[in-house]
Amino acid sequence: MTTTIDTILGRASAARLGSPAPTRAQLEIILSAGLNAPDHGRLRPWRYVVLQGDGLDLLGRAMSELKQRQTPEASAEVLDAVRMKARRAPVIVVAAAHLVKGHRKVPEIEQIIAVGAAVENMVLAAHSLGIGTMWKTGDPAYDSQVKQVLGLDLNGTAKDGEHLAAGPAEESEGPAGGEGTPADAEAPAEVAVEETAPPAEEAKAEETPTVEETSS
Ligand SMILES: Cc1cc2nc3c(=O)[nH]c(=O)nc-3n(C[C@H](O)[C@H](O)[C@H](O)COP(=O)(O)O)c2cc1C
C-alpha cells in the first residue's frame, strides 16, 4: 500500500489493459471511492454501470451500431473491430452524470465536476490497489442510443440508493432526482480497469457479473 501522495504522483494511464479482472472486493473499494467524492448539495449526481463479460459485449454492439449509423459504408471488418474495442479491458466502469436541472444552489457544471472528481477518486483507488486504468470518452459517451443500452437514459423512476445487480440494461432504471427535473445522463465516461498483480483465486471468482448499476 502506498501513501496518498505516492498514489497521486504515481498515477498514469495504463498503455494496455488485460486480464485478470479486479476482484469483486477490489471493485467495491473502487466504487466506494467513486461514491465518496466531494459533492455540492449532496445531490449524488453520479451513476455507474460496471461491465464485465456479456456486459462488455452489450457495449461493444452499441458502439458498433453507432459506427454504422455514423458511417453506413463501414465494412464488416471495421464494425467488428469497433465492437471488439469494448473487450480491451476485463472491466469497464461507465460513469454518468445525472443532473438536477435548475437547482437553486448547485449549477449543472458543479454537478458534472463532482462526477469528474468521483471518476478520479476511482482511478486513484484503482492505482493504489495496483490496478491499471484508462479514462476514455469518445463519441459513444455522448450518444443517446448507447446511453439507452446501458440504462443511462435516466428518465426512469428508480430511487436514490437503489442497487441493480447483474441484470440486462433494460432492467436498469434511472434515479429520481432531488430538486428540479431529472435530465438525461450527461457524458458517460468509461474507466477501464485492470489488475496488474492479482491474487489468482479471487480473480477467478469474478467472472460472473455482467451489468450492474449503482448509485448512492
Ligand atoms: C474526461 C476525460 C476523457 C478522456 N477521453 C479520452 C479518450 O477518449 N481517449 C484517449 O485516448 N484519452 C482520453 N482521455 C485522456 C486519458 O485518459 C489520459 O489522461 C491521457 O492520455 C494522459 O495520460 P496520463 O493519464 O497517463 O497522464 C480523457 C481524459 C479525461 C479526463
* pLDDT higher than 80, residue 107: yes
2 within some domain: no
**pLDDT score of 151:** 94
Weakest mean pLDDT among 104-108, 147-151, 175-179: 175-179
Query: How high is the pLDDT of residue 207?
Result: 35
Query: 17 lies in a domain?
Result: no
At 44, which amino acid appears?
R
**Is 70 exceeded by the pLDDT of residue 71?**
yes
In a domain, 135, yes or no: yes
Answer yes or no: is 13 within a domain. Answer: no
90: pLDDT strictly greater than 80: yes
- Does residue 19 lie within any of the structural domains? no
For every residue of the chain, which 3-state class applies, written as one string? CCCHHHHHHHCCCCCCCCCCCCCHHHHHHHHHHHHCCCCHHHCCCEEEEEECCHHHHHHHHHHHHHHHHHCCCCCHHHHHHHHHHCCCCCEEEEEEEEEEECCCCCCHHHHHHHHHHHHHHHHHHHHHCCEEEEEECCHHHHCHHHHHHCCCCCCCCECCCCEECCCCHHHCCCECCCCCEEEEEEEEEEEEEEECCCCHHHHHCCCCCCEEEECC
Of the two residues 158 and 126, the one the predictor is more confident about is 126
Structurally, how many domains does the chain consist of? Answer: 1
- Tell me, what CATH number does 96's domain have? 3.40.109.10
Does 21 reside within a domain? no
Lowest mean pLDDT of 19-23, 31-35, 61-65, 77-81, name the range.
Answer: 19-23
Segments forming the whole domain that contains residue 91: 34-214
Q: Say if 170 falls within a structural domain.
A: yes
Residue 98 contacts residue 174 (beta carbons within 8 Å): yes
Q: What is the pTM of this model?
A: 0.79
- How many angstroms separate the alpha carbon of residue 81 from the centre of ligand 1? 21
Rounded to 10 degrees, what is the CA torsion of 81, 134, 53, 212? -130
Q: What's the whole-number mean pLDDT along residues 50-54?
A: 96
Compute the mean pLDDT over every residue in the chain, rounded to the nearest whole number. 80
In this prediction, residues 26-41 reach a mean pLDDT of: 97
What is the CB < 6 Å shell around ligand 1?
Answer: 12-13, 134-138, 189
Q: What is the pLDDT of residue 183?
A: 40
**In angstroms, what is the span from residue 214 Cα to ligand 1's centroid?**
24
Residue 6 counted as domain residue: no
135 alpha carbon – ligand 1 mean position (Å)? 5
Q: What are phi and psi of 164, to 5 degrees?
A: -105, 115
30 falls in which pLDDT band (50, 70, 90)? very high
Judged against a pLDDT cut of 90, whether residue 139 lies above it is answered with yes
CB 115 within 8 A of CB 96: yes
pLDDT tens digits, 112-131: 999 999 999 999 999 999 99
Residue that the C-alpha cell 477467478 belongs to? 204
Using alpha carbons, select from 129, 125, 164 the residue that is nearest to residue 32. Answer: 125
Percent of the chain with pLDDT strictly greater than 70: 70
Determine contact, residues 192/52, Cβ cutoff 8 Å. Answer: no
Look at residue 153 in the predicted model and tell me its pLDDT: 77
